Amino acid sequence: MSQVDVVTVFVAALLTALATGLGALPLLFARASDRKVLGIANALASGVMLGASASLTLEAVDRSASSTFLGAAAGVVFILVASRSLRAPHHEFVVGSLRGEDAVKALLIVAVMTVHSVAEGVGVGAAFGGGETLGILIAVAIAVHNIPEGLAISLVLVPRGTSVHAAAGWSIFSSLPQPLLAIPAFLFVAAFEGVLPAALGFAAGAMVWMVARELLPEALGQASARVVAATAIAAFAAMLAFQAILL
């Protein structure tokens, strides 16, 4: 396996990570942070994350249903433990300009999307194991797919006071597992293909739990149920359609 092959895999996966930062750009034009705007932003982020988790689950079940459900259960446990730990009374978290509950939400969304990126990094590397053309096609699809995921992160961070540039930086940070894991997945395709269903399920479970326990309840406290439901459903449908076109 030549050095050029490994470099190609790394650069392709790195570009998919950098694309996540583009999701913050729309928020340059919408910085309002009143309760209704924050509720709509949470609903949008929820729909995008649920669409992504549905796609992950379908892909994972096609590979191994049992591994998928075990991974999903582990993902739920992970985000539940992380949430309780971050909210421990003796902890006072600060994320940039965010403190307290806002900082907890920021840490959770970045953690969940970072877990999600682990599965995507393995997917990019494994795709390159099937040939350069397939690898590039999958990398491009994931890069474009990462943009709305960066938007989901930014929709949680920016209305709470994080700058758009910082939100873009956190979005890129959440995708760093992609270039880091693409190379080992490329070099050891068979081994990583075996753990991919569980990794996909883990990411899906963590995202669904984050939406159900964190984002949607908060959205419902900030905007009307009708607005939240319509926004989340529209974002969910748009994300599924977007992924269907790409993949």
- Please list the residues that pair with 95 across neighbouring strands: 98
Please answer whether residues 83 and 102 qualify as being in contact, where contact means their C-beta atoms are separated by less than 8 angstroms: no
pLDDT digits (tens), the chain, 247 positions: 444 478 888 999 999 999 999 989 888 876 555 667 778 888 888 888 898 888 888 888 988 899 999 999 998 898 888 777 766 665 566 666 666 777 788 888 888 888 888 888 888 888 887 777 878 888 888 888 888 888 888 888 888 778 889 999 999 999 999 999 899 988 888 778 788 888 888 888 888 888 888 889 988 988 899 999 999 999 999 888 877 776 6
Nearest to 103 by CA among 92, 111, 112, 94: 94
pTM of the entire structure? 0.76
Q: Is residue 26 part of a domain?
A: no
Q: Is residue 202 part of a domain?
A: yes
Q: Is residue 25 part of a domain?
A: no
Token readout for 1 is 């396996």
What residues make up the domain containing 69?
Answer: 3-20+32-246
Q: Is residue 195 part of a domain?
A: yes
Q: Is residue 95 part of a domain?
A: yes
Q: Is residue 8 part of a domain?
A: yes
Q: Is residue 64 part of a domain?
A: yes
- How many folded domains does the chain comprise? 1
What's phi and psi for 94, nearest 5 deg?
Answer: -130, 130
Q: Is residue 27 part of a domain?
A: no
Token readout for 196 is 């991919």
What does each C-alpha distance from 211 to 98, 100, 109, 189, 216 come to in angstroms? Answer: 20, 19, 9, 32, 6
